[in-house]
Amino acid sequence: MRANLDLYLALVRAQVNAQLQYRTSFLLMAASQFVVTFTDFLMVLLLFTQFPSIAGWTLPEVAFLYGLGGIAFGVSDLVCGGFDGLSKMIRLGTFDRVLTRPVGTFAQVLASDVQIRRLGRIAQGVTVFALAVSWLDVTWSLDKLAVLALSLAGGAVIFTSIWVIGAAITFWTVQTSEVTNVFTYGGEALVSYPMPIYAEGIRWFFTYVVPLIFVSYLPALYILERPDPLGLPPFLQLCSPVVAVLFLLVARLCWAFGVRHYQGTGS
């Protein structure tokens, strides 16, 4: 485990150094990621100039959800680029090389593509979250800070697990399926708004199958002390990290199953 972690960090460091060689290009891309994702939030601002609230949630509260989801997704996007690129590894046959090395496939793919320009996306989430907190009157306490930290980590793990499952499917389909985008980019959009606005089937799916409800909605209820019109048991609001770990285990199983079924493309 320790050796794996050291190796992972060494690989990531090498990539970061390589990317920093082209400093202007890096800065431009990080800035463009920030601006691009921030535009998305500008649209939310624009909407709220016309509409007072959504399902009883005001702009600052929606920004709170948006920020939580944005940070969690941004972290997973930074870490998981390798899984997104698995399709290419399979097509080019470089995944064969991964299999011959004496380190786990999971750690190797995880470390294979860490793009630090994606920090721009995280910066956007942090900015929106900071705005939300400054607009809201949250009475912070130790338990709320703990819920915040753990659900941010949990959210990142949940999104990461989705990337991993999506990549595991690539072992059969070879091409990355755009349907994975429904759960990654679509998931990020989904968690930016309060859950009650969605139809029951969608809510059920994103509670019990892909547990995105734990990324922002449930922790936000706890921190903002809002009642839950959905009537879910309140202890679930504290469960993000537990659910995240369980979901990651499922993702690891899918991954192991996929790797076992891997056949080269013959190129």
Q: Please name the amino acid found at residue 188.
A: E
- If binding means CB under 8 A, how many residues of this protein chain bind other proteins? 37
Q: Rule CB under 8 A: which of 49-78 touch other proteins?
A: 49-55
Is 36 among the residues that bind other proteins (CB under 8 A)? yes
Cβ-Cβ contacts under 8 Å for 262 (sequence gap 6 or more): 90, 95, 99, 171
Q: Rule CB under 8 A: which of 150-209 touch other proteins?
A: 173, 175, 177-179, 181-182, 186, 189-190, 193-194, 196-199, 202
Rounded CA separation 93/114 (Å):
20
Q: Which is nearer to other proteins, 53 or 141 (CB)?
A: 53
Number of H helices and E strands in the chain, helices first, is 14, 0
Say if residues 183 and 77 touch (Cβ distance below 8 Å): no
Q: Which is nearer to other proteins, 182 or 224 (CB)?
A: 182
Instruction: Please count the CA atoms within 13 angstroms of the CA of 155 that sit on its side-chain side.
Output: 34
Q: Which is nearer to other proteins, 189 or 238 (CB)?
A: 189
Give the N- to C-terminal CA distance of the chain in Å, as an integer.
33
Query: Sign of torsion, CA 19 22 23 28?
Result: negative
Q: In the complex, what is the shortest distance from the CB of residue 127 to other proteins, in angstroms, rounded to a whole number? A: 16
Token pair for 27: 């800065």
Q: Which is nearer to other proteins, 130 or 202 (CB)?
A: 202
Is 142 among the residues that bind other proteins (CB under 8 A)? no
Q: In 3-state terms, what secondary structure has residue 265? A: coil
Among 5, 9, 20, 28, contact with other proteins (rule: CB under 8 A) = 28
Of the listed pieces 47-55, 79-87, 164-172, 239-247, which binds other proteins according to CB under 8 A?
A: 47-55
Of the listed pieces 8-16, 40-48, 73-81, 158-166, which binds other proteins according to CB under 8 A?
A: 40-48
Q: What is the CA radius of gyration of the chain?
A: 19
Q: In the complex, what is the shortest distance from the CB of residue 194 to other proteins, in angstroms, rounded to a whole number? A: 8
Is 20 among the residues that bind other proteins (CB under 8 A)? no
Cβ-Cβ contacts under 8 Å for 240 (sequence gap 6 or more): 147, 150, 151, 154, 155, 158, 214, 215, 218, 219
Q: Which is nearer to other proteins, 32 or 134 (CB)?
A: 32
Q: Can you give the binding site for other proteins, defined by CB under 8 A?
A: 25, 28-29, 32-33, 35-36, 39-40, 42-43, 46-47, 49-55, 173, 175, 177-179, 181-182, 186, 189-190, 193-194, 196-199, 202
